Structure 1
Amino acid sequence: MKQLTKFTLLAALAGLAHGPAMAQGRLLLLDQGEYVCALPGDASGAAWVEQEGRDFAITGGSSYRTVRGAGTYLMEGKQVTFTRGPMRGTKMMRLGSGLLQEVGRDGKLGRLRCHRVGPTSG
């Protein structure tokens, strides 16, 4: 009987330790540094067309800054959602280390891509 009680208690504790974290997904952080955003070009011109005013920097923790101000983001798995500041409501998908692609309101990947170009300046 004692052994059954120990087993039940251990199972309950294990469920508490893993339940909420698994349900909400794993929170992560983006690589710190400057990110440049661009749209794909075409065969007759540049391969990428940088989008003025779309660049940002990941400054530490879950914070970012742009020329228009600073804010915060939330990253769950590969999904990045900018929650405060000038990019509030923007969603991106992390494709790889230092590479993000914008997610449209319809949930589909858009054309805009942002890539990390180096450490933050200033």
Structure 2
Amino acid sequence: MAQGRLGLLPQGEYVCALPGSADGSAWQEVEGRNFAITGASSYKAGNGSGTYLMEGKRITFTRGPMKGMRMMRVSSGMLQEVDRGGKLGRLRCHRAGPVSD
């Protein structure tokens, strides 16, 4: 069942991180989880490219190296991972800028 209107994420590079600690840095970037939204429903990750589906605020990566990963759009430039149980996880990805060549 659809969760809302179909949409597209803003194109650009997305950097993914976990919350840090009070005595260290605020965020810990997660190696190998960054990706770029490259066009209409398309993304590129370090080890390939694929497609995603955005229904309302829910994003599901449908093909490629991130297939099966689910995220929720929590603000205009911030996505948060959704776990298998449907709860928001700790991993957050923010749009860091335009797609680099």
Q: What range describes the TM-score normalised by the shorter chain of this pair? A: over 0.9
Whole-angstrom distance in 1 between the partners of 2:62 and 2:99 = 21
C-alpha distance after superposition, 1:24-71 (max 9, x if no partner): 331000000000000000101000000000000000000000110000
RMSD: 0.9
Identify which of structures 1 and 2 has the higher relative contact order when contacts are C-alpha pairs closer than 8 Å and 6+ apart. Answer: 2
**TM-score (normalised: structure 2):** 0.97
Give the residue type in structure 2 aligned to 1:32. Q
- The structural deviation recorded for 1:98 is 1.2
Matches within 5 A, 1:35-114: 35-114=14-93
User: Which residue of 32, 36, 40 maps to 2:11?
Assistant: 32
Identity %: 71
Give 5+ residue unaligned stretches, structure 2.
none
Whole-angstrom distance in 2 between the partners of 1:70 and 1:114 = 17
**TM-score (normalised: structure 1):** 0.80
> Which ranges of 4 or more aligned residues in structure 1 deviate by more than 3 Å?
none
Give the residue type in structure 2 aligned to 1:45. G
